Amino acid sequence: MSRLSLDITATDGQARTGSLGTRRGQVRLPAFMPVGTQGTVKGLLPEEVSALGADMILGNTYHLMIRPGVDTVRALGGLHGFMDWPGPILTDSGGFQVFSLSGLRRLDEDGVSFRSHLDGDLLRLTPETAIEAQEGLGSDLMMMLDECPPPGSPREYLEQSLKRDARWARRALDARSEKGGALLGIVQGGVYSDLRSLSVELLGSLDLDGYALGGLSVGEPKEQMMEVIAQTVPQLPAHKPVYLMGVGEPADLVRCVGLGVDLFDCVLPTRMARTGTLLTARGRLNLKNSRFKDDPAPVEESCQCLTCRRYSRAYLRHLFNARELLAYRLNTIHNLHYILKLMAGLRKAIAENRYQSYAREILAGLEPTGQARAALT
C-alpha cells in the first residue's frame, strides 16, 4: 500500500512541480502548509484556509497531546473531524516543542521525558508513542521523533544524535500500524555536509515515505542554510517528497523551491499577521506605523485578497491598535493569501520553465538592493 505518491509533472533546474497524492487528496507542489498549532489555523475557518489556496495544513502533536489530549481528539473524529478540515494534515512528532517549549528534559536512547509547559506534568515521548499520538490524531503525514540539538552543538554531539535519530526512524516505522499515515524521516547533521550525507545514508536504507530537513533556520547564517539544502536535496531519492521544516520567509521559499524543496510550513505569515506585520511584494508593512493613520489605500494595491479588496490601511491600523479580533483575522487572510499566491506563482513558473526569471523578479521586489540577482546566480 502506497501511503504517498509523488507525481512530478515538470522540473526547471532543481525546482520541481507536480502533486503529492495523500489518502485525503492531492497537494499541489511545491506547497506551503499553514500551521494549525492547536487544531485551528488561528482565527480562520477551515474553508477559508482552503479557499486561500492551502491543500494541506500542519498540526502540532505536542500542543494537542497536552491540550485537549490525543484521546479526546481521537474520540471526536481525529483532528479532521475535531476541527472540520477534510483535507490532508501533516503532524510533527512533538519533538520540536519538547526541545523548545517544555521544561526539564531528559533524553536517553529510548526517548525523552519532559514537563508540560502548561501544567508541569511529567510526560514521555518515544519514537513509538510519537507515532501512536499522531495516529490518534489521524495524521496523514507523520513525522518521526528526532532530537533537535541546540544550535551550535559540537560535531561529535550531532553525529551521535543523528545516529540515534536513524535508530528512532527504524522504531517509528516498526511502530506504525497498518492504517497509519505516511511517515517522513528527518535528516539532521547541522551545517556539516558530511554529517548530512551520513544522515541521508542511514535514513535512506529505511522505507520512509519522504524526507524532511531538520535543524535548519535555527540561527545559522542564511547562506549556510542554503548551502546545506543545496547539498542535501540531490542526495535524497527523487521519487519521494522533500520537506523543509519551519521555513516561511518569502525570499527563502523562493530560493528553496529553486533547490528542489517540495513542502514548507512556518508560523511566520500567521504570527506576523497577529503582530501587525503584513507581507507584500515589496517587503513588510508595519501597521503600527503612524503614517498609515489616514491612509485609504489597501495594504497592497494589486492584491486580490478579501482584506485588500475591502479595507484600507487606516482601518486595519485602527483595528490593530484597538486590539480588535478582526485585525488578526484580516491580517492573517492577507498574509496567507500572499504566501499561498507566491507558491502558486512558483508552481506555474516551474511548469512554464521560467522559474529563474520569476524568482529574480520576486526577489528583486523583496530585496530591492540588488543582492537578489547575485544570490540567485
Kindly state the DSSP code that residue 245 receives in the 8-state scheme: T
**Count of positions on this chain that bind a second copy (CB under 8 A):** 34
We find the least distance from the C-beta atom of residue 96 to a second copy, in angstroms, to be 18
* Position 315 contacts a second copy (CB under 8 A): yes
- Tell me which of 122, 238, 322, 374 binds a second copy, using CB under 8 A: 322
We find the least distance from the C-beta atom of residue 72 to a second copy, in angstroms, to be 5
* Position 324 contacts a second copy (CB under 8 A): yes
* Position 67 contacts a second copy (CB under 8 A): yes
Name the residue among 4, 233, 2 with its Cα closest to residue 141: 4
- List the catalytic residues: 92, 265
Contacts (CB under 8 A) with a second copy, residues 81-120 = 82-84
* Position 375 contacts a second copy (CB under 8 A): no
CA distance 82 to 93: 19
We find the least distance from the C-beta atom of residue 198 to a second copy, in angstroms, to be 40
Query: Residue 39 or 248: which CB sits closer to a second copy?
Result: 39
CA distance 339 to 267: 11
* Position 314 contacts a second copy (CB under 8 A): yes
Secondary structure class of 326 (helix, strand, coil): helix
Between the alpha carbon of residue 304 and those of residues 52, 79, 291, 311, the distances in Å are 11, 31, 23, 11
* Position 326 contacts a second copy (CB under 8 A): yes
Between the alpha carbon of residue 222 and those of residues 45, 229, 234, 308, 369, the distances in Å are 34, 11, 19, 31, 17
Stretch that binds a second copy, among 37-45, 146-154, 232-240, 254-262 (CB under 8 A): 37-45
Query: Residue 161 or 307: which CB sits closer to a second copy?
Result: 307
| CB distance 228 to 213 below 8 Å | yes
| CB distance 276 to 327 below 8 Å | yes
CA distance 366 to 283: 5
Q: What angle do CA 201, 184, 339 make, to 5 degrees?
A: 115
* Position 174 contacts a second copy (CB under 8 A): no
- Tell me which of 163, 312, 344, 376 binds a second copy, using CB under 8 A: 312
- Tell me which of 121, 174, 294, 352 binds a second copy, using CB under 8 A: 294
Other beta carbons within 10 Å of 153 = 16
We find the least distance from the C-beta atom of residue 64 to a second copy, in angstroms, to be 9
CA distance 260 to 229: 9
* Position 293 contacts a second copy (CB under 8 A): yes
Name the residues that contact a second copy, by CB under 8 A. 38-40, 42-45, 63, 67-68, 72, 75-76, 82-84, 293-294, 296, 310-312, 314-315, 317-319, 321-322, 324-326, 328-329
